[in-house]
């Protein structure tokens, strides 16, 4: 058994032998109560994701039942589109959960680059519905379905994860309903908000509807900075489908996001719908696989070079992928410019210096960062712009430009009037029929 001192020491060294069975490697991610490491089974040589949870912290906040529930749920749902639980181990101070290692990142990161083609969205939705249907057949309700909890493997297949908020049919009250309010606000069903008891299966179906909308639209159906106003929109089912939604997709989403759970479409009816039953063209599968293969190569580069940016925060560089989102707004109120270029860092820095000189901005620079600051005070102080340069490959840079200080309106005007025109000719693009070339 690994004691607490050894575990802490191992985490500091980022490598340890766990129970004589697993070699614990680099940290993959962490939350409030757990850390997830890359680990290798010494006997089989197979890589896994090892979730390490501190018992003391869980007991302190009364979450031992939740972790037990998560483990029980994962034990009950063995399905190709659900992250698999391999085994659970424990020491005096920690719980170790060995799970399937899913390397393709979150579906959320793919949507963050823009809406998906309808065929691609359908493929992911079909896998999601299949996984959710299997969970429900085992009496397990996820209750926190969202793109951040949907992972992609190396083949581009969807995997549902994070059963921390799941519950079972035996937890239903005498009225046959669940009564615990949980989930992520934008994805939670109206009946859950209403606190009158809800059917876990119908609540999951609502969340699937929100996910499908996001896949096709690139944004949420229910949005509001004020949580009360957001809940009112959800409670009323107050949303609109963008004009590019097909009529079949529009009909299905309207049935999924029916605020009355008694009228909401069931999973069997979803599977019978004409939109759902359409087969996915082979070219969609092939393009998706190529994109993920290239993302994995870039991710490996990122792990070997400190100057390389995380691939899933950037782009897919596969031929034919639309790079226009890299030169578009991050948020409606404040723009963040992100683009790829085949020009060397010195050329990008020189171009930024030219912009600064033209508008009489001061410049501070290093090999991978440039800061431009206005000399005149604006509405909220002197405007400052920061540009970070990341080497993806020896011949490819990604540049991120964002506001570092000052007024957002002044920053947006600077981007539109000075920065974009000055940088536009060095943006790297691809087209379906051509190899990547500098613009």
Binding residues: 55
Does the active-site annotation cover 144?
yes
**312-345: b or e for each residue (b if 16 or more CB lie within 10 Å)?**
bebbbbbbebebebbbeeeeeeebebbbbbbbeb
Cα distance between residue 426 and residue 15, in whole Å: 42
139: region left, alpha or beta (phi > 0 left; psi from -120 to 50 alpha) = left
* Binding residue positions for ATP: 55
Beta strands in 314-378 (DSSP E): 337-341, 361-365, 369-378
Which one is catalytic: 133, 144, 153, 258?
Answer: 144
Structural contact between residues 160 and 81, judged by C-beta atoms closer than 8 angstroms = yes
DSSP secondary structure letters along 62-94: T-HHHHHHHHHHHHH---TTBPPEEEEEE-SSE
438: region left, alpha or beta (phi > 0 left; psi from -120 to 50 alpha) = beta
311 DSSP 8-state letter = G
- CA 326 to chain centroid, in Å, comes to 17
Cα distance between residue 394 and residue 226, in whole Å: 45
Q: Which positions are catalytic?
A: 144
């Amino acid at each position: 058994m690994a004691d607490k001192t050894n575990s802490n020491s191992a985490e500091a060294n980022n490598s340890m032998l766990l129970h004589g069975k697993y070699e614990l490697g680099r940290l993959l991610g962490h939350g409030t109560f757990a850390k997830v490491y890359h680990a290798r089974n010494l006997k089989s040589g197979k890589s896994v994701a090892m979730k390490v949870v501190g018992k003391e912290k869980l007991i302190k906040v009364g979450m031992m039942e939740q972790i037990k529930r998560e483990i029980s749920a994962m034990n009950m749902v063995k399905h190709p589109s659900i992250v698999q639980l391999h085994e659970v181990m424990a020491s005096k101070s920690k719980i170790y959960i060995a799970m399937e290692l899913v390397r393709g990142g979150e579906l959320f990161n793919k949507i963050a680059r823009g809406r998906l083609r309808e065929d691609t969205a359908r493929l992911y939705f079909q896998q999601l519905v299949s996984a959710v249907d299997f969970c429900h057949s085992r009496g397990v309700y996820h209750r926190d379905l969202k793109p951040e909890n949907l992972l992609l493997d190396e083949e581009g297949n969807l995997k549902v994860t994070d059963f921390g908020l799941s519950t079972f049919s035996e937890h239903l009250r005498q009225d046959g309903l669940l009564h615990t309010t949980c989930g992520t606000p934008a994805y939670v069903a109206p009946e859950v908000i209403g606190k009158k008891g809800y059917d876990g299966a119908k609540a999951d179906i609502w969340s699937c509807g929100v996910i499908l909308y996001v896949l096709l639209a690139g944004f949420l159906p229910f949005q509001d900075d004020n949580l009360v106003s957001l809940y009112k929109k959800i409670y009323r089912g107050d949303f609109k489908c963008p004009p590019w939604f097909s009529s079949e997709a529009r009909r299905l989403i309207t049935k999924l996001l029916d605020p009355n759970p008694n009228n909401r479409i069931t999973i069997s009816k979803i599977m019978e719908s004409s939109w759902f039953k359409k087969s996915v063209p082979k070219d969609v599968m092939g393009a998706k696989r190529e994109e993920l293969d290239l993302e994995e190569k870039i991710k490996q580069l990122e792990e070997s070079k400190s100057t390389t940016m995380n691939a899933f925060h950037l782009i897919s560089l596969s031929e034919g992928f639309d790079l226009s989102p890299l030169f578009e707004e991050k948020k409606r109120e404040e723009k963040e410019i992100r683009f790829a270029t085949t020009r060397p860092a010195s050329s990008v820095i020189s171009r930024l210096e030219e912009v600064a000189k033209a508008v009489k901005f001061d410049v501070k620079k290093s090999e991978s960062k440039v800061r431009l600051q206005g000399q005149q005070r604006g509405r909220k102080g002197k405007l400052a712009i920061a540009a970070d340069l990341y080497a993806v490959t020896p011949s490819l840079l990604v540049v991120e430009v964002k506001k570092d200080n000052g007024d957002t309106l002044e920053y947006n005007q600077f981007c539109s009037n000075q920065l974009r025109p000055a940088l536009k000719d060095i943006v790297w693009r691809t087209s379906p029929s051509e190899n990547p070339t500098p613009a």
